[in-house]
Structure 1
Amino acid sequence: MATLISFAGLPGTGKSTISRALSVATGAVYLRIDEIDAAIWAIDPDRDIDPESYHIAAALAASNLALGHTTIIDCVNPWAITREIFTAAAKRSKVRILGVETICSDPVIHRAKVEERTMDVPGLEKPDWQKVLSRDYTPWATAEVRLDTAKLNLADAVGEIERHL
């Protein structure tokens, strides 16, 4: 049965790395909010997107879920209201939603991941450490899977999610 796997977590906690590896391991469709944002900003760099890209991703997810494809949403997904967008898409599609939150409990490791990563989405600006620290983000208390990337390697993180599918 198809599942909507919705990621959440601050920048630099490993969401994209884990999401891509999970997509390869499972064949799930991979949807990345950063790609949607970059496409919109390429047309209108000054546009205020707000939750628009989340609604676009939810619609694309629902289309793939209707075809029976497990779908991964890769985004910061910072608040209950954004998480509800994906929950509603799963409900409309009559599939299960699996919430996955990534954290990095070691601030030294987390900062290094933020500062050393290369941006792989053309047109997106790499956030600096201070922007990550000041980001408005509410932990996802009801996420079924919580991954601490300071303690888990990539294979173990993917395996943990697969155990919940």
Structure 2
Amino acid sequence: MTGHLVVVSGLPGVGKTSIAEIVAARTRSVRVSIDAVEESILACGLPSGWQVGVAAYEAARAMAEQNLRLGHDVVVDAVNDSEPARQTWLTAASQTGAHLEFVYLVISDVQEHERRLSGRDRGLAYVGEPSWSDVQRRRIDYAAWSDEVSEFDTAARAADEVADVLIARLRTK
């Protein structure tokens, strides 16, 4: 049986980390966070920019591939807002024979989305927290999905509920 590579995607503040953590814990999967990898790279003194973002995705891909080859399922927590970013996970699945599941989280309630971002502190000194205007700009540039993707509105469903649906799906594939 091939492993599962679940990529939980969406704008900052939609619940990616919460859902990825729940799914990974309940399925005993390895969780890989792009923000944690990027935080580590920036902590080494490299300047922030798109190159660090690409490096974070590539480092996370390498970790995902290693763990998939060891027989572990992997849950990735990433904004995943462009075709090149998504290609990272298509490559990982292709290289390992893993079943790839793209998950796209949205939040239809704009005020709730903004509320979730205000005062948020994930303890990332170098990556920092995006402002509401940062997220609005990112929303404009977020590439449409060309791959099959499961979409969930986290304004309508709690993180536990979304995680339960994802876990049930993984058990059938």
**Equivalent residue runs for 1:31-70 within 5 Å:** 31-48=32-49, 49-70=52-73
Q: Secondary structure at the match of 1:55?
A: helix
Please tell me the residue identity of whatever aligns with 1:17.
S
User: CA–CA distance in 1 between the matches of 2:150 and 2:113?
Assistant: 19
What is the aligned-residue RMSD (CA, Å)? Answer: 1.4
- Residue 26 (structure 1) aligned with residue 27 (structure 2): yes
Q: Partners in 2 of 1:140 and 1:119 — Cα distance?
A: 28
Q: 1:115 to 1:85 in 2, by over 3 A?
A: same
Q: Classify 1:66/1:153 alpha carbon distance in 2 versus 1 (closer, same or farther; 3 Å).
A: same
**1:155 aligns to what?**
160
- Secondary structure in structure 2 of the residue aligned to 1:146: strand
Secondary structure of residue in 2 paired with 1:97: strand
1:98 equivalenced with 2:88 (yes/no): no
Greater than 6 Å deviation, 4+ residue runs: none
* 1:141 Cα deviation from its structure 2 partner: 5.1
5+ residue gaps in structure 2? none
2:78 pairs with 1:75:
yes
Q: Distance in 1 between matches of 2:151 and 2:10?
A: 10
Counterpart amino acid of residue 158 in structure 1: A
Question: Counterpart amino acid of 2:130?
Answer: P
Aligned-pair identity (%): 28
**TM-fit CA distance, 1:41:** 0.6
Q: Does 1:17 align with 2:24?
A: no
Task: Measure how far apart 1:120 and its partner are.
Answer: 3.2
**Aligned residue in 2 for 1:111:** 114
Equivalent AA in structure 1 for residue 18 of structure 2? T
Instruction: With the length of structure 1 as denominator, give the TM-score of the two structures.
Output: 0.94
Q: Distance in 1 between matches of 2:44 and 2:86?
A: 27
Higher mean Cα deviation, 154-163 or 38-47? 38-47
Q: Which amino acid aligns with 1:119?
A: R
